[in-house]
Amino acid sequence: MSVRNRDALGGRAAIAGIGATEFSKDSGRSELKLAVEAVRAALDDAGLAPGDVDGLVTFTMDTSPEITVAQAAGMGELSFFSRVHYGGGAACATVQQAALAVAAGIAEVVVCYRAFNERSGRRFGAGVQHREPSAEGAALGWALPFGLLTPASWVAMAAQRYLHTYGLTPEAFGHVAVTDRRYAATNPAAYFHGKPITLEDHAASRWIAEPLRLLDCCQETDGGQALVVTSVERARDLPNPPAVVLAAAQGAGRAQEQMTSFYRDDLTGLPEMGVVARQLWRTSGLGPGDIDVGILYDHFTPFVLTQLEEFGFCAPGEAAGFVAARALPLNTHGGQLGEAYLHGMNGIAEAVRQLRGSAVNQIPGAARALVTAGTGVPTSGLVIGADG
């Protein structure tokens, strides 16, 4: 049974600093150096020093341990350190864990970070090439022998069912790609800066795993991103306006697997994101109509549509029209399709910029943002808001 009551975390912590490296295809330096650069940039943005940090949170997949980052960045003692599992599903949960530590008084300043050479080093798009025996690997054993070896092939199964159920064509996914690239085209930090696309471009791109085309799939990126979380009270004394954590949640659905939850009764939704959505709305007291900008995890375009439906922005099967109508500003940095694939951490930073009023593609009066993490896996989400 998932949580059915409003939790007590909302409004007790804020994101006070954001920092990143450049986003590239060949960083030319180690993942540890990327992590430290991002962490220091986030601390500079927050007006804090390494010695102020007493907590660190990252992904289980990150190759830079908390104590190593602390040493390399010049930090002192740590009273809290934590990691979150399930790849991109961990993004918003890093902020949740940092906020929990701050709210409980376990730490005062917690930095969340993620850094990798995901283009020049290990490439997730290459699929499963070797895996040590594990309970998690056993689930993949039902899919790998039949050629479902890559994330795109796993998502394609659900995407095909979605199109069939609602009588749609792959153009439905193109609206997400076009939206992301429209915003990326005006974002100097984006890899696809100056390169918008059309629905015709989307339809002409090569198949990866039907019904997914190349332009339905996110990038592979080298880079690092970090976020500084502290109390709302302390954040108010720092240089930039606080982005208050109004709600944070994790979610895993029934019959959940990592990307291969094919044995559920229905493949057209994302139950794990439904768990997150219900808790975010309960705790924040908000609903779809209260959100000014949505930063939705876009490793593959179909799951952006199903996220919109899980959160109640539109009815099942209607998300493509919702996106095409520009009913909600979506992935205003360009998303992972257009800006960079940083496992969703760059999306959180964009939401902070929107609330500060400093985004390149600023939405006038943006005061509430919804951010989500990776889908198809156990996942997480945030509702953050401007202070006051």
- Catalytic positions, written as ranges: 297, 341
Looking from the CA of 154 toward its CB, the CA atoms found within 13 Å total 27
Residue 206: CB atoms within 10 Å = 7
Spell out the residues 6+ positions from residue 62 whose beta carbon is closer than 8 angstroms to its own: 31, 35, 83, 113, 114, 115, 116
Q: Which residue has the tokens 């993942």?
A: 31
Give CA–CA dist 328/348, Å, rounded: 17
**Over the chain, what HEC string results?**
CCCCCCCCCCCCCEEEEEEECCCECCCCCCHHHHHHHHHHHHHHHHCCCHHHCCEEEEECCCCCCHHHHHHHHCCCCCCEEEEECCHHHHHHHHHHHHHHHHHCCCCCEEEEEEEEECCCCCCHHHCCCCCCCCHHHHHHCCCHHHCCCCHHHHHHHHHHHHHHHHCCCCHHHHHHHHHHHHHHCCCCCCCCCCCCCCHHHHHHCCEEECCEEHHHECCCCEEEEEEEEECHHHHCCCCCCCEEEEEEEEECCCCCCCCCCCCCCCCCCCHHHHHHHHHHHHHHCCCHHHCCEEECCCCEHHHHHHHHHHCCCCCCCCHHHHHHCCCCCECCCCHHHHCCCCCCHHHHHHHHHHHHCCCCCCCCCCCEEEEECCCCCCEEEEEEEECC
Looking from the CA of 69 toward its CB, the CA atoms found within 13 Å total 31
Q: Are strands 368-372 and 379-386 parallel, antiparallel or unpaired?
A: antiparallel
